[in-house]
Each structure stands twice: as structure tokens, then as C-alpha cells.
Homo-oligomer: A and B are copies of this chain.
């Protein structure tokens, strides 16, 4: 066994996310401290509810991208910590509002905040965190990052509305689905990486490289998420299966399975998606259908294409441990599904 192979085999024990985390450990800890501080309020319900979500073991993937980009560009100021915390607050705010919107019963394997506290506080605490995010960005004194993240926030909201509009509608196209994914998920991944890169003052190629990495990683991430929603593995990860199905969301597995369906099966999809008349047995049939038609496999194949594009976008960077970890994260993002 060559030295390189041995090294790789040692690395295989920990995920590339953990590896990147270790490379920027001090900054991640500083970011965590700032997150804890930023969600503080004399109105006790705010930190109570925010903590429920923020401390529930999310991977902090988005702020990690911000910090990694700042590191890779040799940034030496303190703005990246604030920016990373802001990115996590925007993400948390959208989760809180998404839970209200989707009436999700589970979020990160825990009962969702809106079921514990009600819809009302979830909306308002989301607004609070969103405002805090902008306060933190203002503290960086950098208008360019404010521009990037306020633009991304508007796009996220547009994406969520688009998704809402396309639920229960079997005529939704793959193209429309990809627009939703780009807006509701990839926009924040892209903005997180891009804004961290902007802070460094490096040139346009460096910034666009990180933006493209974030965008493609975000799309791959969402495609895998949508595949996992029809997978038994999801249950092992503490997430509920079939959330998208129950909400009649038109994700790629359904779009493809419906396109490939025979007449009898189309009647099934019409009933469960368009009329919303469903049972738990229908979920099992849906899982069988998305697997049998190869819809899951095709969704994963496309996720792989975007993960590869994310890796290619890193081409602008000189070799470094951060670059290697980011590249492996793109692979990991797809492989976590197997």
C-alpha cells in the first residue's frame, strides 16, 4: 500500500465535512459563539426557540463554506465570522418559516419548532434571526456582501413561493423543478461561498469559482435530499420519510416516475398528488414506483453531475487541504445517499 493510499484510507474514517471543520476549527468555534450571542434577547422565547433549531445538530454546512472561502483567500480580518453567523441565521430563519409553511412534523429528527411553540412564534423568531443576520453583515462594513446576501434572500423567498405554486400539479416540468432548486437551496449555498470569497479581496475568478462551487453543491445537495425523501435510509438518519409525498411536492423523483408511468400508474399519481387523497400504503407504493422506474437512480445520477461541476469549479484554487476537503464534500454529498 502506497503512502498516499494509506492516508486516504485513514481519512475514510472521518467525513470530509468533519475534515474541513477541523481545518477551520477555531473559526467554526468563534462562529458558534457569535451565533449563541446573536440569538440572545431579553425576550426569553426567542433564544429558547432559536436554540431548539440551531443546537439540534445541523452541520453548519453553509457557514462552513463562507469560512472556507475566506481561509482559502488568506483573509485575516474578523468579518468572515460575522458573515458565517449571518448565513446560518438566514438559513435558520428560512427553516422556521418553511416549517410553518409546510406544516412539517419533523425537522432534523426533532419535533419541529412550530409544533412545540405554534406557528406564530416560528414566524416572528424567523424574522428576528433574519434581522440579526443583517445586523451582523452591517458589522462587516462590506456593502458587497450585503448586496449578495440580500439578493439571495429575495431569491430564496421566490423559490419557496414557486415550490408552493407547483405542489399538487403533475404537469410541472423538470425545468421548473430545477429553477425551484436553484432558488430555494442553491442560492444560499452560492451566496455563502461567494460572500466569503468577496471578503478576501481576491479577483473575480476566485469569487466566481467559489460562487459556482456553492451553486452546484447546493443543487446536488437538494437533488440528493429529494431522492432521500423516498428512501428507507432516511429513517435511519432520524428524518421522516415521505414528507414531500404527503405535501404533494413535485420533486424530481415524482416528475420522472410520472413521466415514465403507464396509464394505470398515472391514475395512481393523479389521485395521490393532484387530489391529495393518500394513505400510508400509497407512500409505500410511491417508493416502489420511484425505484422501479429508475427515477431515484436518475435523480442521483444528476446529483452526481452537479457534484462534479462543483469540484471543477474549484479548479481556480491552488492545491490545499481546504480545496481537497471541499472537493471531497461534493462527493460525500452524493455518497451519503448510498
Name A residues whose Cβ lies closer than 8 Å to a Cβ of B: 41-43, 45-46, 93-94, 97, 100-102, 119-121, 123-125, 127-128, 130-132, 134-135, 137-138, 141, 143, 146-147, 150-151, 153-154, 156-158, 160-162, 164-165
Contacts and interface: CB of A to CB of B under 8 A. Distances in A.
Nearest to A102: B120
A191 to B, nearest CB: 11
Contact of A147 (B102, B138, B162): B138
A128 B161 contact: yes
A49 to B, nearest CB: 9
A281 B206 CA distance: 68
A128 B101 CA distance: 14
A45 to B, nearest CB: 6
A138 B146 contact: yes
A121 B158 contact: no
B97 A161 contact: no
A266 B120 CA distance: 28
A46 B157 CA distance: 9
B161 A45 contact: yes
B138 A120 contact: no
A142 to B, nearest CB: 9
Given A41-B158, A138-B150, 6 more contacts: A42-B158, A43-B162, A45-B164, A97-B127, A100-B123, A138-B147
A146 B139 CA distance: 10
A127 to B, nearest CB: 4
A46 B150 CA distance: 17
Contact of A134 (B120, B146, B161): B146
Given A131-B150, A153-B131, A119 B121 contact: no
Contacts of A137: 150
Contacts of A101: 119-120, 123-124
Contacts of A157: 46, 124-125, 127-128, 131
Contacts of A128: 154, 157-158, 161
A151 B139 CA distance: 11
Contacts of A147: 135, 138
A284 to B, nearest CB: 28
A124 B96 CA distance: 11
A153 to B, nearest CB: 4
A162 B45 CA distance: 9
Contacts of A156: 127, 131
14 contacts: A43-B158, A101-B124, A102-B120, A124-B160, A124-B161, A124-B164, A127-B160, A128-B158, A128-B161, A130-B130, A131-B156, A138-B147, A143-B143, A146-B146
Given A138-B146, A143-B143, A123 B121 contact: no
Contacts of A151: 131, 135
